[in-house]
Structure 1
Amino acid sequence: MPVEPPSRDDLRLVRRTLEALPGVAEAEVLLIGDGPGAAVSALVSDGRPLPEPSVAAPPSARLDDGETRVVPGCLAAMERAAVLAIAHTVHTVQTTGLFRHGAEEVADALRAAPRHRWIVRRWLAALASENLPAPPSRQELARAMRDLDAARQELGYPAEMGRFFQTALRSLPRLVRDEISLQSLLFAGGGMTAARGNYRDNLISRRLNRAAAEAVAARAPARVLEIGAGVGATTDAVLAAVGEVDYLFTDVSAFFLDAARERFAHRTGLRYAHLDVNAPMALDEQPFDVVLAANVLHNARHAGRTLAAIRELLAPGGTLVLIESCVEHHLVSASMHFLMSPRADALLPGFADVRQGQDRVFLTRTEWILQLAAAGYRDLRVEPAPDGPLAAAGQHVFTAVRGERHPAPAPLPPEAAEALPPHLVPREIHTVDALITDRSHRP
């Protein structure tokens, strides 16, 4: 029999119980984990106003030079190929006019899997934004594909990544129907060359990984935790910058952990552990000087809750370094977004933070700044500079220091726990400086 997660009424009861506690002005309650392991998590705030977050201006040319001037043009060519491939896919099943039918009708015609229908909605929004009411010609699509590959080469993506882009764009109908998985294309033959090309072996990623590595090294850390380390693309740059340190490499996937053990076998100081940003993140570890999370925290179901949990893993004055995409590019909607669809059997589909119900994955640059400040971080820095060519990639390196405005989280008082059924007692309670909540969605 399927396990039913707590209802909105259940979560509302937990919230009211928490908000009745001394010192708690506001609480937000959500579920973490999934299936039988789903658990209640809570954020609490004392209600003090959050000062306007300030961001230190980065050196304007630190990541940009003559080499990065090609980024905007190359990305425009890649975006053009993606949106034309989306238009071709949609128009194969829509012969009476693109904007005469709703998203559900288009998804039905595509025979889209339920878990991927949010991607179809993104596709239709992309076509509307690009004013593409008619299908591209074969010649136009072929030319765009050639331009995509030329741009891929100019940005330094390996040939395997080019094949991945081309195959994904030509496989959109099968991907959206769940006849093939994006993982089978990205890790074709069990190899990681394409994935490393996406996260390491290109001009954009090299600059961002270097900036992240320099931010880590500036802390002169003795202990580093990397969350969602994946193929180790950022790990390479950081290890080169910091030398031998106590480095805990974590990921949710045993596949990546096993590959990392083999790949970094020659390195001393590296340890490995399973860690899921959507589950309780308590580690039996001493606090870390630096926590690094590259291209992973957008997977968090609730960004504020995950940032608060990470803050509790940092030593006083410790530094969090993030690399995050902040723009929903068309090429991503036609490729990597398939990795973000919920499992077919997921009980907790979708996001529970400011992205809830919005058919998007990435927080904006401004939203990340607000989330970091609300979760108790200070001394925020963001690169690249907004006016530089690298900013066209929509990816940023965020650096923030653990603040000390609020106390460490305390366990739920026994009298409050007794007022709740056992399955509703929060598994974790995080004290934050402020809550960023869409009240229309809040239980």
Structure 2
Amino acid sequence: MNIGEQLERGISVLVETPLGYDELLACTRIARRTGASLRVATHVERTPSARRFVAAARGLQAPIRGVSAACASGDLYAVLALSSRALGGVRPWRFARGAHVISGCLAGVPIVLRVGPEESFALTVDHDAGELTYTPVHGEALDPEPRADAAEMQHQLVLAQIHESIVRAPVAALPAHPDPTETHEAALRSLGAAEVESLPDALGRLEAISRRALSELLREHGARTEHGVLCNEAALLAALGAAPRHVWLIRRWLLALNRAGWPPPGREPTDPTEMRDAYAALGFPPAMAELHIAALRALPQLVSDQTTLPRLLDSSTTSALAAYQSNVFTAYLGAACDHLAERRGRVLEVRRGALDLNADFAAQGIAPQSVDLVIACNLLHNAEHVGRTLRRMRRALVPGGWLVFTDSTHENDAMLSAILFLLSPPPGAPPVGTEDRRAGTGSPFVDIDGWRAELFAAGFVPQFELPPTNSPLAAAGQRLFFAVAP
């Protein structure tokens, strides 16, 4: 006996397998005529944990900025249903299939779905106060009671229409996005004879030298730890004469030393020859090695603001950054950006000093929907609020436009004793990121998962990151992100 026949007999039905739009519409009409109850609800929706998730999402004080989810194809309807309940509805909605994900909006909120046989069920709503994530809890009891009303049926009809619009989207209509493997290989070819396999070892040597110098400085000023915890941070900061704007950096030093283990005292912390060889192996200009050597020797003066990195280099901040940004890692990322830019027409390259990341782009002459590609290299960590900056970039792009940006996703320990001094705020100003997801982390950088969430919330569809995580080029933590504006 099929569903329609049961409803004709007045038997209430609870359906766990999503019905097609036409079948659900026909069954709804029968149920209303006979007075039977019909409900379409997957097992996921009917668990206590799912109900708690929906209640928590509906009770958020901060607005929901985006939804991201992953699931197998059989759970797609459950994801849509839970998302719609968390958002309080489904309209307005639209969806499009991409090469790797399904994107669109539900109840006017950007939503991105990763659907595949190896995907585990996970649903996350992103809001100004953080993230709320739901994953199914196995073994929960279900509520089997079928119930339905006109509003519920309308809800199910729209969900069925959305489900079919996704499932039946023609493969031929998928947008032609660049292939990450092709881009990676093109960028590798641009490096020529550069030896990438040795990069992690060379970087590791610089990190070890940096940690030795930092531990010697902190020990000289009375740093004591018990079970990896600093005994008295206030006393240490006072002994160092630390400028308030550099306190965040000293805390990053302590985190790195506690994580890697404090090197034993007694060894010469700075070996100029080893540093020069390591920097050369990483493709840096000689000026970078000399800057780092000078910085290690002047750490007490840098911490107390008696000197600055540009003064040590006898140059400007721009020159210090130029020395740091010329290496094998950035050459690879730059070549990948160039490879992607070849395929687009109107390109907006966001450069330091040419465009204010923290101000409206239209007021700076960049009209909405006026460019096909936005490129930003190693800049976005300087934004006061990365989400707002991404939304400005989104508005500048045409539908289907591309965003390509590179940035550090974490600091490596070699950065701690030199170049990160340039990221300390001006005296009296708060550190960057105090208004966005970086607040409270102590880091000026957004990690990979954080960038994906920010892209989702800004209305982008993240497609891939480079280099691959298993590549030696990933050792420095610098990544390229490619996303599409649907």
- TM-score, normalised by the number of residues in structure 2: 0.59
String of CA shifts for 1:319-365, please: whole Å, max 9, x gaps: 11101111221122222222222221326865211110111011112
Query: 1:314 maps to what in 2?
Result: 397
Query: 2:347 maps to what in 1?
Result: 224
Query: Tell me, which stretches of 5 or more residues in structure 1 are unaligned?
Result: 1-14, 20-24, 27-44, 231-250, 252-273, 404-443
Distance in 2 between residues matched to 1:191 and 1:178, nearest whole Å: 15
Deviates more, 1:283-292 or 1:206-215: 283-292
Question: Residue 64 of structure 1: CA displacement?
Answer: 4.8
Query: 2:231 maps to what in 1?
Result: 101
Distance in 1 between residues matched to 2:309 and 2:252, nearest whole Å: 17
The aligned amino acid for 2:361 is M
Question: Residue 18 of structure 1: CA displacement?
Answer: 8.6
Query: 1:206 maps to what in 2?
Result: 331
Question: Residue 105 of structure 1: CA displacement?
Answer: 2.2
Change (3 A) 1:319 1:185: farther
Number of aligned residue pairs: give it: 318
Q: Secondary structure at the match of 2:112?
A: coil
Distance in 1 between residues matched to 2:462 and 2:220, nearest whole Å: 51
Distance in 2 between residues matched to 1:17 and 1:58, nearest whole Å: 36
Question: Residue 305 of structure 1: CA displacement?
Answer: 1.3
Query: 2:299 maps to what in 1?
Result: 172
**Of 59, 62, 74, which aligns to 2:202?**
74
The aligned amino acid for 2:408 is S
Question: Residue 86 of structure 1: CA displacement?
Answer: 0.9
Question: Are residues 1:131 and 2:261 paired?
Answer: yes
Residue pair 1:381, 1:400 contacting (<8 A) in 2 also: yes
The aligned amino acid for 1:218 is R
Question: Are residues 1:285 and 2:346 paired?
Answer: no
Q: Secondary structure at the match of 2:206?
A: helix
Question: Are residues 1:87 and 2:215 paired?
Answer: yes
Distance in 1 between residues matched to 2:419 and 2:220, nearest whole Å: 22
Query: Looking at both structures, which has the greater relative contact order when contacts are Cα pairs under 8 Å and sequence separation is at least 6?
Result: 1
Kindly report which structure 2 residues correspond to 1:289-308, keeping only aligned pairs within 5 A, or say none.
289-308=372-391
Distance in 1 between residues matched to 2:224 and 2:215, nearest whole Å: 14
Distance in 2 between residues matched to 1:321 and 1:276, nearest whole Å: 18
Q: Secondary structure at the match of 1:357?
A: coil
Distance in 1 between residues matched to 2:111 and 2:357, nearest whole Å: 25
Kindly report which structure 2 residues correspond to 1:15-414, keeping only aligned pairs within 5 A, or say none.
48=109, 50-52=111-113, 58-59=180-181, 62=185, 63-64=187-188, 67-94=195-222, 99=229, 101-132=231-262, 134-138=264-268, 141-143=269-271, 145-185=272-312, 188-190=314-316, 194-200=320-326, 202-219=327-344, 221=345, 223-227=346-350, 229-230=351-352, 251=353, 274-282=354-362, 283-286=364-367, 287-346=370-429, 350-378=433-461, 380-403=463-486
Q: Secondary structure at the match of 1:218?
A: coil
Residue pair 1:301, 1:350 contacting (<8 A) in 2 also: yes
Deviates more, 1:300-309 or 1:341-350: 341-350
Distance in 2 between residues matched to 1:392 and 1:208, nearest whole Å: 13
Distance in 1 between residues matched to 2:315 and 2:306, nearest whole Å: 18
Query: Tell me, which stretches of 5 or more residues in structure 2 are unaligned?
Result: 1-59, 65-86, 89-105, 116-176
Query: 2:100 maps to what in 1?
Result: none
Distance in 2 between residues matched to 1:383 and 1:157, nearest whole Å: 21
Query: 1:41 maps to what in 2?
Result: none
Question: Rg bigger for which structure?
Answer: 2
The aligned amino acid for 2:241 is R
Change (3 A) 1:53 1:280: farther
Question: Residue 192 of structure 1: CA displacement?
Answer: 5.5
Distance in 1 between residues matched to 2:308 and 2:477, nearest whole Å: 26
Question: Residue 302 of structure 1: CA displacement?
Answer: 1.7
Question: Residue 183 of structure 1: CA displacement?
Answer: 3.3
Change (3 A) 1:102 1:281: farther
Q: CA RMSD in A?
A: 3.1
Distance in 2 between residues matched to 1:17 and 1:369, nearest whole Å: 20
Question: Residue 185 of structure 1: CA displacement?
Answer: 3.6
Question: Residue 103 of structure 1: CA displacement?
Answer: 2.4
Distance in 2 between residues matched to 1:307 and 1:81, nearest whole Å: 37
Q: Secondary structure at the match of 1:362?
A: coil
Change (3 A) 1:134 1:154: closer
- TM-score, normalised by the number of residues in structure 1: 0.64
Distance in 1 between residues matched to 2:422 and 2:318, nearest whole Å: 16
Q: Secondary structure at the match of 2:449?
A: helix
Residue pair 1:342, 1:350 contacting (<8 A) in 2 also: no
Change (3 A) 1:100 1:365: closer
Distance in 2 between residues matched to 1:199 and 1:17, nearest whole Å: 38
The aligned amino acid for 2:415 is V
Change (3 A) 1:295 1:52: same
String of CA shifts for 1:365-399, please: whole Å, max 9, x gaps: 22212211221112522111111111112111111
Distance in 2 between residues matched to 1:17 and 1:203, nearest whole Å: 42
Q: Percent identity?
A: 32
